[in-house]
């Protein structure tokens, strides 16, 4: 059993990981940048070591400093959280070389699934449906044209090294395809140092459904149901829920089985997420896998009763999963609202600054994951997530009502937040019906713009 873990992250996820460690009797070592001296994760950890300047490249991304801290702090394992080094194969390998356990998948799994084109090929091999498209990467323009005509326009070009919406280009005809192909390759080379791209049929406003999975080192694997992450703006998720209002029990079973097949095909270890797109005819397609704990993991915890961080730690210690698929019971409904230090009135611009007053909600069915407190200064150097509000109810109606009630008693002064936006979503008739897709936010915001602006936009 681990006695001491280093948390290579900051903000709410560092706090989240420390909480589970405390419950397991594991000591914690926090690392922090000079911008995070007053952060709650530094206060809550048993020990904390400063690893550098505010810029992530000079602190949270510095593998050698984190490994030095691990050495000094005498930890047996490192939890990377999400973002930063969580999906960095070199870091996982460096941990191995230092004889420190990386709490996550093996470097091989990270590489295999980190390459989206390879992940797609693996899904095909496992018999999991993928969007019609190219077999592997495309390097030749003629081949790109041939495939696009075969699967029919519109098509989407994606970077193999991309993910989460980065490095994608849509094309509606031969001319735009050639441009999209060249631009996508150039951008991929510049952004990821890998020009590899592949082609898929472009689905218009699909739903984004992801399955939470766990695999252990002994071949054990389960899925913990799905999350609907369709409420997003420019690839930034804003609201997630579990289960998805779009899935029948029968479709859930089929998608869950497909997710598990993929996990078992590669013998995946640790927590992971299998992402699917669901089209208007309820056909589902695998698009990518995330090899980390995700921001929205608490909605899955709420409906399954499983502590996903605890399971990650147990798995990393070599323990078997303590339960099988039959034992996974989905109960009730959970909704997560991301509270960001952003101005929803002004294109969701980040608005870091001092929180003059902080009064988060509580009561039945309410969970808050946050690193904030009265007087906390949100630094400008990191993502703008300041809290996650997760509300749980016996059914979806109850979860929506609890979310609205909790949003109404959530007081933040000093900086604008996405709380009013979340409120607008909870009151939207289509959201209330569960009738939404990845085009929802755009439609909602169009309707909320000042009528004059709306006229101009139509113009």
Catalytic residues: 292
Nearer to ligand MV4, 232 or 402 (CB): 232
Distances (CA, A) of 341 to 377, 380, 413: 11, 10, 11
Q: Which is nearer to ligand MV4, 117 or 232 (CB)?
A: 232
Minimum distance from CB of 13 to ligand MV4 (Å)? 20
202 near ligand MV4, rule: CB under 6 A: yes
H-only helix segments in 248-320: 249-266, 297-304, 308-316
Please list every residue from 36 through 75 that binds ligand MV4, using CB under 6 A.
none
How far from 43 is each of 148, 325, 372, CA to CA, in Å?
A: 55, 38, 12
**Least distance between ligand MV4 and beta carbon 141 (Å):** 20
Six-digit token string for 199: 């082609």
Residue 208 found at the interface with ligand MV4 (CB under 6 A): yes
x/- letters, 254..283, toward ligand MV4 (CB under 6 A): ---------------------x-x------
Rg, C-alpha atoms of the chain: 22
Question: Which of 17, 287, 335, 406 is the binder for ligand MV4 (CB under 6 A)?
Answer: 287
Strands 207-215 and 270-278: antiparallel
Helices (H) then strands (E): counts for the chain: 16, 22
Q: Which positions ≥6 away from 441 have C-beta within 8 Å?
A: 231, 232, 233, 238
Using the rule CB under 6 A, is 160 a contact of ligand MV4?
A: no
Structure tokens at 314: 């147990």
DSSP annotation of 284 reads: E
Is the CB of residue 423 less than 8 Å from the CB of residue 403?
A: no
Nearer to ligand MV4, 131 or 391 (CB): 131
Among 94, 369, 438, 444, binds ligand MV4 (CB under 6 A): 438
Which of 249, 246, 212 lies closest to 231, judged by CA?
Answer: 246
Q: Within positions 161 to 190, which residues make up the interface with ligand MV4, using CB under 6 A? A: 164-165
Segment lying near ligand MV4 (by CB under 6 A), choices 20-28, 54-62, 200-208, 303-311: 200-208
Binding to ligand MV4 in span 215-244, by CB under 6 A = 232, 235
Applying CB under 6 A, among 15, 128, 159, 203 the residue interacting with ligand MV4 is 203
| Least separation in angstroms between CB 390 and ligand MV4 | 20
Peptide bond preceding 243 in cis form (omega within 30 of 0) = yes
Stretch that binds ligand MV4, among 203-211, 258-266, 306-314, 410-418 (CB under 6 A): 203-211
Which region among 45-53, 196-204, 310-318, 427-435 touches ligand MV4 (by CB under 6 A)?
196-204
**Closest distance to ligand MV4 from the beta carbon of 182 (Å):** 20
* Sequence-distant contacts of 244-248: CB under 8 A, at least 24 apart: 244/207, 244/209, 245/396, 245/434, 245/435, 246/207, 246/209, 246/278, 246/282, 246/434, 247/209, 247/278
Closest CA to 154 of 201, 100, 189: 201
For the bound state, the minimum distance from the C-beta of residue 170 to ligand MV4, rounded and expressed in Å, comes to 8
Whole-number minimum distance, CB 338 to ligand MV4, in Å? 14
Using the minimum distance from each CB to ligand MV4, give the nearer residue, 156 or 214.
Answer: 156
Considering the complex, state which of residue 58 and residue 279 has its C-beta at the smaller distance from ligand MV4. Answer: 279
Strands 357-359 and 411-413 turn out to be antiparallel
Closer to ligand MV4 by Cβ: residue 203 or 444: 203
Q: 213 and 309 in contact (C-beta within 8 Å)?
A: no
Number of residues that bind ligand MV4 (CB under 6 A): 17
3-state secondary structure 85-135: CCCCHHHHHHHHHCCCEECCCCHHHHHHHHCHHHHHHHHHHCCCCECCECC
Q: Which is nearer to ligand MV4, 210 or 216 (CB)?
A: 210
Quick one: which of 12, 36, 115, 200 contacts ligand MV4 (CB under 6 A)? 200
- The residue among 107, 105, 109 whose CA lies nearest residue 315 is 105
Residue 87 lies near ligand MV4 (rule: CB under 6 A): no
Intra-chain end-to-end CA distance of the chain, in Å: 65
Is 131 a binder of ligand MV4 (CB under 6 A)?
A: yes
Residue closer to ligand MV4 by CB (options 294, 438) is 438
Task: With contacts defined by CB under 6 A, name the span among 41-49, 79-87, 138-146, 195-203 that binds ligand MV4.
Answer: 195-203
Q: Which residues of this chain interact with ligand MV4, rule CB under 6 A?
A: 131, 156, 164-165, 200-203, 206, 208, 232, 235, 275, 277, 287-288, 438
């Amino acid at each position: 059993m681990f006695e001491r873990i280093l948390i290579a992250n900051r903000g709410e996820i560092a706090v989240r990981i420390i909480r589970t460690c405390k419950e397991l009797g594991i000591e914690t070592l926090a690392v922090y940048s000079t911008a995070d001296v007053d952060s709650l994760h530094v206060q809550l950890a048993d020990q904390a070591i400063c690893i550098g300047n505010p810029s992530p490249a000079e602190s949270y991304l510095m593998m050698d400093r984190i490994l030095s801290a691990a050495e000094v702090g005498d930890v047996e394992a490192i939890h990377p959280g999400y973002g930063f080094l969580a999906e960095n194969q070199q870091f996982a390998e460096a941990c191995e070389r230092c004889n420190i356990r990386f709490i996550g998948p093996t470097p091989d799994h990270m590489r295999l699934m980190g390459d989206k084109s390879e992940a797609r090929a693996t899904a095909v091999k496992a018999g999991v449906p993928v969007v019609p498209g190219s077999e592997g990467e495309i390097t030749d323009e003629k081949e790109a044209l041939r495939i696009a005509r075969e699967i029919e326009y519109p098509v989407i070009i994606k970077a193999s090294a991309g993910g989460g919406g980065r490095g994608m280009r849509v094309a509606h005809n031969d001319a735009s395809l050639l441009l999209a192909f060249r631009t996508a390759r150039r951008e991929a080379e510049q952004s990821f140092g890998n020009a590899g791209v592949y082609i898929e049929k472009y689905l218009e406003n699909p739903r984004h459904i992801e399955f939470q999975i766990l695999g252990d080192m002994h071949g054990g694997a389960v899925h913990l149901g799905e999350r609907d992450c369709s409420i997003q703006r420019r690839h930034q998720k804003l609201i997630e829920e579990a289960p998805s209002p779009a899935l029948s029990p029968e479709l859930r079973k089929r998608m869950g089985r497909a997710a598990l097949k993929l996990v078992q095909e590669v013998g995946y270890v640790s927590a992971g997420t299998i992402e699917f797109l669901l089209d208007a005819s309820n056909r589902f397609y695998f698009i990518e896998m995330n090899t980390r704990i995700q921001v929205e993991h608490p909605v899955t915890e709420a409906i399954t009763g499983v502590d996903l961080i605890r399971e990650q730690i147990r798995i990393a210690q070599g323990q078997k999963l303590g339960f099988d698929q039959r034992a996974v019971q989905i109960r009730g409904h959970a909704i997560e609202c991301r509270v960001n230090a952003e101005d929803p009135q002004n294109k969701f611009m980040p608005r870091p600054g001092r929180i003059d007053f902080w009064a988060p909600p509580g009561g039945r069915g309410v969970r808050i994951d946050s690193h904030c407190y009265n007087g906390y200064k949100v630094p400008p150097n990191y993502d703008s997530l300041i809290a996650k509000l997760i509300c749980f109810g016996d059914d979806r109606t109850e979860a929506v009502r609890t979310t609205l009630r909790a949003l109404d008693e959530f007081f933040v002064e000093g900086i604008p937040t996405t709380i009013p936006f979340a409120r607008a979503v909870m009151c939207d008739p289509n959201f209330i019906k569960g009738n939404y897709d990845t085009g929802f936010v755009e439609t909602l915001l169009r309707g909320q713009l000042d009528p004059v602006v709306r006229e101009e936009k139509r113009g």
